Amino acid sequence: MGDFDFIDRSVSNAEKHTLKEKLFGTQEVLPMWVADMDIATPSCVLEAVRHRLEHPIIGYEIMSKTAYEAQCDWVERHHGWKISTEWLSYSPSVVASIGCAIRAFSDEGDEIIVQSPVYPPFYDMVRSNNRKLLLNALMQDAQGEYRFDLEDLKAKITPKTKLLLLCSPHNPVGRVWRREELIALGELCVQNGIVIISDEVHCDIVFSESTHIPLASLSPILSENTVTLMGPGKTFNMAGFSISTVVIASSQLRERYRKEQHKVHYGDGAVLSHVAFEAAYSQGDVWYQNLMNHLSTNRAMIEQWCIAHPVIGFRKPQGTYLAWLDCRALKMGDRELRDFFVKEAGLGLSAGLSFGKEGSGYMRLNFAVAREVLQQALRQLSEALVRNGYG
């Protein structure tokens, strides 16, 4: 079997399948929503875990220095950012780190900037920690490219604004932020005493025409003002290992973060995850290059399909394996649009509206699937469009 061949996940309790009925009201959809890949986790990771299981005791273990060194080495090789193992803390999930950082760096009632449309747990973490959302919607330029709206942000910042949640690369719009964009945003935050939580979990899924730049790598000042969230979950399709990293260069911010983290006592996580983490970062390069080729071909396939079906607007994502489909030309309400995708096209996608009101009229399709699954999905969508008079 090839690395990117179809694998049946309906037999393994995959969320994508088990929640189909609840989310879409039917089992009869191709599930292309939650952001994990229908692609096997690299064999080097699976082998390392199998090897560890040859030792029969799965007790408490701590993250080894070599595991963190493997991540530092990966980040330097792939993103040109030199980080130290001392800056790293374990986290069971990036979203958990966002919650912890919110509690560490702000108080109840403070304002936190969220740049909509964005990954829904950003909103949820702000609200459930009793902070106020300060919405700074992304804008689209004349070419339709999403940009930061710094004028809007400047006008909205108040003394209560304490944090900005940055999504870089951006889910769902697929932007890989350019150096000058990041510097302008970062400087505005520094000037206003706003700490940036930079969620860079998609940092490795970036296509060849773009370069991911870790915000904290841009200057010593930005490094001191940024909490970066990274991990192997997206890159190596190992979300189920529940392991990620919080990178904080500033000793002062690190101390505050760790004090908050200490309160929930999740320690260093699970031994099999440590082993998987180290194997991924130290042995995953070749698999990763092949993954990017696979995703790049899938992305091109969607682009070609959209050229042939101009009623669906599409700008190639610069990063992430998520296609942000502009369905506004179908002139359907959001409920109707969702029903159209489920009932007519047999596709279970994420509704754009779930990312914020700016996502109205969009659907997000996860294209990290086997080639034939994507072909099937596009075929189903073509047929649904034709049947409904959009062909």
**Interacting residues with ligand PLP (CB under 6 A):** 35, 93-95, 119, 167, 171, 199, 201, 231, 233, 239, 244
Structure tokens, 296: 């790049």
**Could you give the CA distance from residue 163 to residue 198 in angstroms, rounded to a whole number?**
10
CB of 242 to ligand PLP, least distance (A): 7
Name which of 35 and 227 has its Cβ closer to ligand PLP. Answer: 35
Name which of 94 and 100 has its Cβ closer to ligand PLP. Answer: 94
CB of 103 to ligand PLP, least distance (A): 16
CB closest to ligand PLP, residue no:
93
Name which of 134 and 322 has its Cβ closer to ligand PLP. Answer: 322
Structure tokens, 83: 């980080």
**Could you give the CA distance from residue 351 to residue 364 in angstroms, rounded to a whole number?**
6
CB of 63 to ligand PLP, least distance (A): 16
Instruction: Give the HSE-up count for residue 359: Cα atoms under 13 Å, Cβ half-sphere.
Output: 23
Name which of 136 and 305 has its Cβ closer to ligand PLP. Answer: 136
Name which of 122 and 287 has its Cβ closer to ligand PLP. Answer: 122
Name which of 227 and 385 has its Cβ closer to ligand PLP. Answer: 227
CB of 244 to ligand PLP, least distance (A): 5
CB of 333 to ligand PLP, least distance (A): 26
Peptide bond into 169 cis (omega under 30): yes
CB of 72 to ligand PLP, least distance (A): 19
Q: Residues near 57 by Cβ (< 8 Å), separated by ≥ 6?
A: none
Place of tokens 């970036």: 206
Do 136 and 153 contact (CB within 8 A), yes or no? yes
Which residues on adjacent β-strands are paired with residue 139? 147
Residue type, 309: H
CB of 360 to ligand PLP, least distance (A): 20
Measured CA to CA in angstroms, residue 9 lies from 274, 352, 379 at distances of: 24, 25, 21
Name which of 94 and 126 has its Cβ closer to ligand PLP. Answer: 94
Residue type, 188: L
| Angle, CA 129 vertex, CA 123 and CA 130 arms, to 5° | 90
